[in-house]
Structure 1
Amino acid sequence: MTEKLKSTLGVFQLWGIAVGLVISGQYFGWSYGWGVAGTLGFLVTTLIVATMYTCFIFSFTELTAAMPQAGGPFVYSRKAFGDTGGFIAGIATLIEFVFAPPAIAMAIGAYLNVQFPDLNPKYAAVFAYIVFMGLNIIGVKVAAIFELVVTVLAVIELLVFVGVVQPGFSFSNFALNGWAGLNHFEWSVTSGIFAAIPFAIWFFLAIEGAAMVAEEAKDPKKTIPRAYISGILTLVVLAFLVMFFAGGVGDWTKLSNINDPLPQAMKVVVGHNSAWMHMLVWLGLFGLVASFHGIILGYSRQIFALGRAGFLPPSLAKLSRFQTPHRAILAGGVVGVLAIFSDSVIQIQGMSLTAAIVTMACFGALLMYIMSMLSLFKLRRSAPHLERSFMAPGYPLIPAIALVIAVICFISMFYFNPTIGAIFIGFLVVGYIYFLTTHRQRANSIERRMST
C-alpha cells in the first residue's frame, strides 16, 4: 500500500473546506475580544487582523499552488530553509490544528446545552470527536462533500441571524463603552486592542488548512487559488456582519465571555422561546461542525505528512483501507479529548479553558504565518524556476504587510499572555529535542523511500 493520498477534490469542495475550517470562529470565541478591548477597540483589532489575513492568503496561495502537497507550510518551509525550517513550520501548524478542535468541541457542547440543559457539554464534545473522526476515516471524498454541505448551511444561518436581529440593531448599543481596555494599564485602550489579537485571529484561524489537502485536489494549480481567494472574501464579509449585529442588539458586555454569543444575542430580539432562536441553536451547530470536521481533516494530513517525512513516528503515516490517515486522525483526537477534561485541573492566567486554547492555537498559527511568508521571499530568490501558476499580487508589498503584522501580533501575544507563551515555547523545545534525536528516522523515512 502506497502512502500517497488520492486527488478527488474540486474547487467547490476546496472552498467548502477553506471556509468550513474557519466558520465556527464566526459563532463563538471572537466575543472574548470584547472583554479586553470593547466593541470599538476590538473593531480596530479585527480590521488589522483582517488586513493581515487578506494579504497572507493572496501570498500563501502562490506557495500552495506551486507545491500542492499534504503538509502545506511544513513543505514550503522545508524547501526554503531545510529540515530545521520544516520542523519549525510543521510543529507550529500542528499546535494550531491540534489545539483548535477541543475549543470547537466544547462550543458544540455549549450549544447543545442550551437546548438540553441536563446534557454535560464535555460528554457532547467527546461524542463529537468520535463521530467526526469516524467520518474522516471513511474517506476524504465523503468527508469533503459533508464539509461543503454543512459549510453552505452555516453561511446561510449566519445571514439568517443578521436578518432576524437587524430590527433590534442600534449602533449606539454597539458603541456604548466601546473603548474598554485593560484597567491596570494607563494606556488601556491601546493595550486592549493588542490584547484582543488572538480573538480577532479566531475569526479567520485555519483557512490555510486547505493547503493540507492540496495533494488531494484535482488540478490544484487552478482550483486552489479560486478556493482560497473566494474563501477569504467570504469570511471577511461574514466576520464584520456578525460582529456588528451581535454587538448592536443590547448589552454587548453580556456576550463577551461566553461560548454561545449568537443565540444569546438573538434572545434579546426574539425572546427565549422563539422558533428563530431554536433554529439558530440547531443550525448554528452546522458552523461548529464544519470547522470541527474540517480541522480534523487538516490536522490528520499534517500529522500524516510529518510522519511520512520522518519528523514524527512513521507509523502515523499509515493509510487505512479507505486511503485515509486513520492513525493520524486518532492521534490528534486523543490530545483533544485530554484537553477537554483538563479544565478542572489546569488554570492559565485566569482564562477560561476555551480562551486559553484559542490563544495557544493562535501562537502556532502566527509562527506558521511568519515562516510561510519568509519561505515565499526565500523561494523567490533560491527557486526562481519553480512553476508558479499563481503569483502573489503586489509582491513584495502584499506579503511584506502580512509578515510585518504577523510579527507584531506574535510579539504582542507574548506580552499579554506570558504564561501561555512560555508553554508554547516549551512545546517547541520538546519538539526540537525530538527532532535532534531522530535524524536516522528522517533518513529512512517513507518519503525518502518513495522518492528513490
Structure 2
Amino acid sequence: MEETKNLELKKTLTPFHLWVIGVGIVISGNYFGWNFGLAESGYVGMLIAVAVMGIMYWFMCLGISELSTALPHAGGPYSFARRAMGPLAGYLTGIGVTLEYLIAAPVVAIGIGGYINFLFPSVNTIIAAAFMYIFFMIIHIIGIKEYATLEAIFVFIALALLVLMYFVGFPQIKIENLLGTGEALIPNGFKGIWAALPYAMWLFLAIEMLPMLSEETRNPKKDMPKGIISGITTLLILSVITTTVAIGLAGIEHMSTATDPLPAALAAAFGNTYWLAQILASVGLVGLIASFSGVMLAYSRQIFALSRAGYLPPILASLHKTRRTPYLAIILPGIVGLVLVMLFNPDDLILISTFGALVSYISMNLSVLILRKKEPNLPRAYKTPLFPITPIVSLVLAVISIFASVFANITFFTISIGIFIVAIIYYYAWARYRINTDAPEERMGDETAVATEK
C-alpha cells in the first residue's frame, strides 16, 4: 500500500484547467488533418461526416462524465473497462488509448513542421519536431499546473486566431467552392462519407483524455463533468465553422492536399502575402503546439496507469522525486514518436491513431452500459442523460467508424489489427502474471469481483 502511495499524482486542476486542456489537446484538428478526407467526400459529405462524429463524441462525453465521477483514476478509459469487463478488456482499452496518443503526437509534430515550412522553407520538419518533443518533455516533467498555465495561453491565442479568420473569411466565401459547379455534391456518395469519417474525427479526437486527469483534479466528482461537457461543446461549434470557412475560401481540390489548410485557405483567397495568412502560419502554430503538448500529457498518464498496475514495465510508472510527474512515461514514448515522424506520412498515421481511439470508444460506451446494470448503486455524482440511448448511439457510431478505416487504407487497418494481436500475446505471455493488485484501478476491480461473487 505504501509503495502505491508513492505513485500518487498532485491534485491541482479546476474546471477551467480541464476546459483549457480539453480544447487545447484537440484544437490542432481545426488547423491540420481534417482536410485529408475532402477529396473523397466533398464539402457536403465532410459536413455529414463531421455531424456523425460530433454526435458520437457528444454522447460519449456524456457517458465518460458519469464514469469519471464514479471512478476518478489516472487510468481513465482503462480503469472504466477494467471495472466493467475485467483485466484483459481494461488492458486492451489502455493499449488503444496509448496507441491513439502515441501516434497522434508525431502527426501533430509533422503538422507543426508544415506550418513552420510555410514561413521558413529552409527549416527541416524533423528538427522542428525534435525541438517540440524536447521542450514539452521538460514542461511536463516540471508539473501539471505549470503545463496548464502555459496551455491556457496557447488555447486563447489559437481560439482568437480562429475567430479572426471567421470574421475575415465569411464575407469572402464562394458557394461554388462549397457546392461545386454542377458536379455531385458528394463525389463518391456514401462511400465518400464513410472514407471521411476518420478525418472528421480529427476535429474531436482526444477530448476523451480528460478522465485521465481525475487524480490531478481537486474535486473530480463535480469538476470533471463541467470540464468535459464545456470542452466538447466548444469543439462542436468550431468544427462546423472552420470547415465551412476554409473550404469556402479555397475550394475542395486545394484544401484536400494542403498541409497547412488555414493559411492556405486565406492565401488562396487573398494571396500568399496576406497579413492574416502570415499570422495564422506563425502565431497559428500555437494551436498545433497546444494539441501536441496535450497528447504528450495523455500518453504519459495512460502509460503511467498501465505501468503502475503492472500491465507495462513498472519502471515506466516512476515519478520524479520532487515534481511527482511520470518522467519516464513522458520521455521514452517521445523518442518513439520522433522515430515515427521520420518514417511515416501523417495521413497514414492518423488512421492508426483513430483506430486505437475507436477501440477505446467502443470499450468506454460498453462500460457505461455494463456498469449501470452490474453496479447500479455505484456512487455517481453525474448521470448520463437519456440513458441508455446516448451510449448505445455512440457505440454504434464507433463500430461503424472503425470499419471506415478499411476503406481509407487496408494496409494500415491491417497494421492496427496486428498491433492488438501482438498486445494480446504479450498479455497472456507476460502481463497477466505481473498485475499489481494494489494499484487503484485494480484494487477497485478486485473489490467489485469479490462483491459480485458474494
TM-score bucket (shorter structure): over 0.9
Q: Which residue of 2 aligns with 1:399?
A: 391
Q: Kindly state the Cα deviation for residue 273 of structure 1 after the two structures are TM-superposed.
A: 1.7
Q: Once the two structures are superposed, what CA deviation does each residue of 1:365-410 show, in whole Å capped at 9, x if it has no partner?
A: 1110000011111101111111100000000111111111111111
Matched, 1:20 2:24: yes
Matched, 1:279 2:285: no
Q: Which residue of 1 aligns with 2:340?
A: 339
- Describe the shift of the 1:293–1:226 C-alpha distance in structure 2 as closer, same or farther (beyond 3 A): same
For 1:295-444, list aligned pairs within 5 A.
295-320=295-320, 321-343=322-344, 353-436=345-428, 437-443=430-436
Task: Tell me the distance in 1 between the aligned counterparts of 2:408 and 2:118.
Answer: 32
Q: Secondary structure at the match of 1:31?
A: helix
Counterpart of 1:205, as a letter, is L
Matched, 1:139 2:143: yes
Q: Kindly state the Cα deviation for residue 166 of structure 1 after the two structures are TM-superposed.
A: 1.9
Matched, 1:73 2:77: yes
Q: Which residue of 2 aligns with 1:248?
A: 248
- Describe the shift of the 1:378–1:114 C-alpha distance in structure 2 as closer, same or farther (beyond 3 A): same
- TM value normalised by structure 2: 0.93
Taking every aligned residue pair, what percent have the same amino acid on both sides?
A: 38
- Describe the shift of the 1:441–1:229 C-alpha distance in structure 2 as closer, same or farther (beyond 3 A): same
Q: Kindly state the Cα deviation for residue 331 of structure 1 after the two structures are TM-superposed.
A: 1.8
Task: Tell me the distance in 1 between the aligned counterparts of 2:313 and 2:118.
Answer: 41
Task: Tell me the distance in 2 between the aligned counterparts of 1:324 and 1:270.
Answer: 46
Q: Once the two structures are superposed, what CA deviation does each residue of 1:193-230 show, in whole Å capped at 9, x if it has no partner?
A: 10111000011000001111111001111111111111
Q: Secondary structure at the match of 2:134?
A: helix
Q: Kindly state the Cα deviation for residue 445 of structure 1 after the two structures are TM-superposed.
A: 6.7
Indicate conservation of the 8 Å contact 2:198/2:351, yes or no: yes
Counterpart of 1:434, as a letter, is Y
Q: Once the two structures are superposed, what CA deviation does each residue of 1:161-214 show, in whole Å capped at 9, x if it has no partner?
A: 111222211223211146354xxxxxx311111011100001100000111111
Q: Once the two structures are superposed, what CA deviation does each residue of 1:274-295 show, in whole Å capped at 9, x if it has no partner?
A: 3222211122111101110011
Counterpart of 2:389, as a letter, is L
Of 125, 133, 145, the residue aligned with 1:129 is 133
Q: Kindly state the Cα deviation for residue 443 of structure 1 after the two structures are TM-superposed.
A: 4.5
Task: Tell me the distance in 2 between the aligned counterparts of 1:296 and 1:329.
Answer: 7
Q: Secondary structure at the match of 2:249?
A: coil
Q: Secondary structure at the match of 1:3?
A: coil
Task: Tell me the distance in 1 between the aligned counterparts of 2:442 and 2:90.
Answer: 19
Counterpart of 2:185, as a letter, is W
Q: Which residue of 2 aligns with 1:179?
A: 185
Q: Which residue of 1 aligns with 2:449?
A: none
For 1:253-264, list aligned pairs within 5 A.
253-264=253-264
For structure 1, the 5+ residue unaligned runs are: 182-187, 344-352
Q: Kindly state the Cα deviation for residue 446 of structure 1 after the two structures are TM-superposed.
A: 5.7
Q: Kindly state the Cα deviation for residue 252 of structure 1 after the two structures are TM-superposed.
A: 2.6
Indicate conservation of the 8 Å contact 2:82/2:442, yes or no: no
Counterpart of 2:224, as a letter, is I
Task: Tell me the distance in 2 between the aligned counterparts of 1:18 and 1:408.
Answer: 25
- Describe the shift of the 1:232–1:87 C-alpha distance in structure 2 as closer, same or farther (beyond 3 A): same
Q: CA RMSD in A?
A: 1.7
Q: Secondary structure at the match of 2:151?
A: helix
Matched, 1:159 2:159: no
Task: Tell me the distance in 1 between the aligned counterparts of 2:185 and 2:349.
Answer: 25
Q: Once the two structures are superposed, what CA deviation does each residue of 1:88-146 show, in whole Å capped at 9, x if it has no partner?
A: 21111111010001000011011011111111112111111111111111111101111
Q: Kindly state the Cα deviation for residue 47 of structure 1 after the two structures are TM-superposed.
A: 1.1
Indicate conservation of the 8 Å contact 1:310/1:445, yes or no: no
Task: Tell me the distance in 2 between the aligned counterparts of 1:362 and 1:448.
Answer: 25
Q: Kindly state the Cα deviation for residue 448 of structure 1 after the two structures are TM-superposed.
A: 9.2
Q: Which residue of 2 aligns with 1:197?
A: 197
Task: Tell me the distance in 2 between the aligned counterparts of 1:450 and 1:429.
Answer: 27
Task: Tell me the distance in 1 between the aligned counterparts of 2:307 and 2:184.
Answer: 47
Counterpart of 1:368, as a letter, is S
Q: Which residue of 1 aligns with 2:452?
A: none
Worse-matched range after superposition: 312-321 or 172-181: 172-181
Task: Tell me the distance in 2 between the aligned counterparts of 1:201 and 1:328.
Answer: 26
Counterpart of 1:198, as a letter, is P
Equivalent pairs, count: 437
Q: Secondary structure at the match of 1:341?
A: helix
Indicate conservation of the 8 Å contact 1:39/1:178, yes or no: no
Q: Which residue of 1 aligns with 2:450?
A: none
Indicate conservation of the 8 Å contact 2:66/2:383, yes or no: yes
- TM value normalised by structure 1: 0.93
